[in-house]
Amino acid sequence: MNVLLTGGAGYIGSHICNTLIDLDYKVTTIDNLSTGNKNLIPKKVKHINCDISDTKSVNSLINKNNFDVVMHLAAFTRVGESVKYPEKYELNNFSKAKIFIDTCLRNNLKRFIFSSTGSVYGNLNNNEKIKETELTNPINPYSESKLKFEKYLINETIKKKAYCTILRYFNVAGADLKRRTGLISNPDNLIKAICEVAVKKREKLIINGNNYKTKDGTPIRDFIHVLDLVDIHVLVAHSLLNSGENEIYNCGYGIGFSIMDVIKEMNSIIGYKLPIKISDRREGDAVYSVADNKKFLKKFSWNPKYNNLKIILESALEWEKSLK
């Protein structure tokens, strides 16, 4: 398989690159390194350092290769930042992505996987697992930009008789067990912050609100190990090659943990209590976000290997320790 992937120098993209190379696939990534780290890209991956909206460079790249599948991950992903700078997220996550996909479609590429987010569902009042049929109601500019592009991609691929699969990620966490890659920096990422406190890079952990209507007052999240998410991409890529269809899938385990659950598990791993500070709620945060993944499980023979909060935290912690 020959894969064109955007955002290969990022957290999830670099994990996908490593796995595809392990499977002996051919991989090219477009990444302008605005947020990514070149050192995370495996040596066997061809790296094109340009913006996804650079039509001339993307045209040239596609014409020189015979790509089977396009995986589009390149995006800004920080919820808090999106609230402060919504126009930045509209430009990068929608407008530039639109230019990129239009270029791909003009060059007759037919199969796409898009990295979206479970936050497109917004704040549901029933605290039930979220199905793909749930009405979308994004509550921050990040998820708004993702949903807007979802709709555009689906419409354009149908018009051009191409196919796309939308993957709505829930809370991706953990790191490569060989420590080849992991999350370098993201102030919005809970488990990253917990690990930084555990290795003394941060003085204390800030909890944004403990007065939510949950069992302990902190939000509930569905954490999926990044390596299991990578396997989902591989399964979907093969499916797109074998049968054309447009689909949306939730990517999570369907298990919810509160913020305090996660902290307690890390306390158990390191043998002491992490220092914490309760702060105000963060604008744009949902109360309860847990995937109903039955649709994906029905379609694919997916057996997650790392569906365990302890494994997720330990792999993230080991990666954090390896960073200087």
Question: What residues are annotated to the active site?
Answer: 142
Cα dist from 110 to 31, 60, 98, 161, 205, whole Å: 21, 17, 15, 8, 45
Cα dist from 2 to 28, 29, 272, 291, whole Å: 8, 11, 47, 30
Cα dist from 174 to 15, 181, 223, whole Å: 11, 10, 9
Cβ neighbourhood burial of 257 (10 Å; 0-12, 13-18, 19+): buried
Helices 190-198 and 259-270 cross at an angle (nearest 10°) of: 30
Contact 278, 207 (CB under 8 A): yes
Beta bridge partners of 288: 220
Contact 121, 72 (CB under 8 A): no
Q: What is the CA radius of gyration of the chain?
A: 19
Handedness of CA 307, 310, 313, 317 (dihedral sign): negative
- Go through the chain and tell me how many residues it has: 324
* Dihedral (Cα; 183, 184, 186, 187), 10-degree rounding: 120
* Token digits of residue 205: 């952990």
* Dihedral (Cα; 222, 307, 231, 80), 10-degree rounding: 30
Handedness of CA 229, 235, 238, 240 (dihedral sign): negative
